[in-house]
Amino acid sequence: MSQDHIDQNIKKKTQSATKKQLEELKQAHENLLRSSKKVYKIAVNAVKLLEDHHLEQEITALYKMQLSQAQYDIGAKPLKSTESSLMSNMYIQGLRNQMTHMLQTNDYPNLSRELAKIRVECISAPVNQRRGIVDTLQKNDIFGANISQMIGVKNKGVKNGTFALVSILCTTEDGKNYILGDNPSGITTLLMKQLEAQERNSITQRFIISALSKLSLEDPVVECMINSQFHSWILSNLMKHDLHEFIQSFASAILVNIFSSNYGKDYLRANKEISDSIARKLLVFANHENVPLDVAFHCILCVYVISEIFQDINFNQDITQVVEEVWKTPDTGDGTKSRIFKISNNIINRKHDYNSKSMHKKDKVEDDVIYFECFNDEAPIV
């Protein structure tokens, strides 16, 4: 038998053995996947039984989140979503009454737990129910006319839960109107003071800045912020490269909302030197290798508004440096980088045909998708 013939036989046997191993691996994988899906179904049914027997809601909500991750990992068919308990008027009214009693009796441990339960239920609710949840919460006055008092509570758990819920409610127009009530200036002032008092980079600080960013689209809020020189405080305290990216993003978003408003533009027109200084500070901040693209975008938007008002001020050199730095930054794929280049070109060439507010990604609540903040570095909610 020739050597070629021997080699061919060895090759055939090797290929045959490899094919058999692949088939065995494929079968083992299919068996494992099939078993995983069965375990997943059992777990789903178990959680449903726990709910039926009134196990603590925050526990079942956490189980649901874990099951959602398992569902994604093994490719199981999605669960038929059941309606969140937060869609029930009677349930919300009961929660409101309990929370009001706990607040009045200084029962902060239990109040903190109730707030945590609400947040977990909000986070774990299907996306298509979130607008309805916010609507039910505000219609049934979840804070029980105690929002100012809740904001002022010093207990850390209550404080964190309160501001998380405020931020959740601010995701819709009706929710924002509920939070502001008939004293938008007073609520805004309370939130700004609380923000200033928080520990740098804390979770609570992020919830407050998120809420204020959403509220800063409302004229009474902007007026209060301008009168309080809140924009100056942001520039001095929050536009820092060592702060959490979320804080930088939402702080710079507030500046865009302020300066893009009619009230903000009137303030800028009346204060040319201050406007020039604001623009220069933002350009210096944006000209940094660690600045997130959306933050650089917000900075450029603010400068665009100022350049539109004061066309005799030249920002070309500073703008060019920012563009050069942005050019080195990896693209996020959402078009932010190209928008920065477009606005920068408009500033340099004195083209003011760009609607800064309409292109600002945080300028309005999306019609269909509502996001609730949840951070990887925060402690377990419950």
pLDDT tens readout for residues 238-285: 999 999 999 999 999 999 999 999 999 999 999 999 999 999 999 999
Average pLDDT for 206-227: 97
What pLDDT sits at residue 374?
A: 83
What pLDDT sits at residue 36?
A: 72
Task: For residue 129, give every residue at least 6 positions away whose Cβ sits within 8 Å of its Cβ, in sequence order, or none.
Answer: 81, 83, 84, 87
Confidence bin at 359 (pLDDT 50/70/90): very low
Tell me the per-residue pLDDT of 71-94, one tens digit each, with 9 for 90 and over.
545 555 544 456 788 888 999 999
Average pLDDT for 293-301: 96
Q: Are residues 184 and 221 in contact, defined by beta-carbon separation less than 8 angstroms? A: yes
The two most distant CA atoms of the chain are separated, in Å, by 100
How far apart CA 92 and CA 260 sit, in angstroms, is 37
Average pLDDT for 149-155: 94
Does pLDDT of 1 surpass 80? no
Does pLDDT of 127 surpass 90? no
Cα 142 versus chain centre, distance: 22
Confidence bin at 358 (pLDDT 50/70/90): very low
- To the nearest 10 degrees (0 to 180), the angle between helices 127-139 and 89-104 is 60
Q: Are residues 58 and 117 in contact, defined by beta-carbon separation less than 8 angstroms? A: yes
What pLDDT sits at residue 362?
A: 46
Residue with tokens 């794929």: 333
Amino acid making up residue 185: S
The half-sphere exposure of 247 on its side-chain side, counting CA atoms within 13 A, is 22
What pLDDT sits at residue 371?
A: 83
* Angle, CA of 165, 170 and 172, to the nearest 5°: 125
Please indicate whether residue 34 or residue 213 has the higher confidence score (pLDDT): 213
Average pLDDT for 154-166: 95
Is the dihedral angle over the CA atoms 212, 323, 325, 288 positive or is it negative? negative
Phi-psi region of 215 (alpha: psi -120 to 50; beta: other; left: phi over 0): alpha
Does pLDDT of 365 surpass 50? no
How far apart CA 283 and CA 184 sit, in angstroms, is 32
Specify the pTM: 0.76
What are the boundaries of each domain within the chain? 21-80, 86-215, 228-364
Burial 65-104 (b: 16+ CB within 10 A, else e): eebeebbeeeebeebeeeebbbeeeebbeebbeebbebbe
How far apart CA 299 and CA 305 sit, in angstroms, is 10
What pLDDT sits at residue 363?
A: 41
State the chain's mean pLDDT as an integer. Answer: 84
Q: Which two tokens stand for residue 377?
A: 């570095």
What pLDDT sits at residue 29?
A: 74
Average pLDDT for 347-362: 63
Tell me the per-residue pLDDT of 20-79, one tens digit each, with 9 for 90 and over.
777 777 777 777 776 676 676 666 666 566 655 555 554 555 555 555 555 545 555 544
Task: For residue 257, give every residue at least 6 positions away whose Cβ sits within 8 Å of its Cβ, in sequence order, or none.
Answer: 213, 216, 217, 222, 264, 357, 360, 362, 363
How far apart CA 259 and CA 262 sit, in angstroms, is 8
How far apart CA 198 and CA 233 sit, in angstroms, is 14
Confidence bin at 4 (pLDDT 50/70/90): low
Does pLDDT of 6 surpass 60? no
Confidence bin at 382 (pLDDT 50/70/90): low
Does pLDDT of 361 surpass 80? no
Amino acid making up residue 93: Q
What pLDDT sits at residue 27?
A: 78
Please indicate whether residue 78 or residue 113 has the higher confidence score (pLDDT): 113
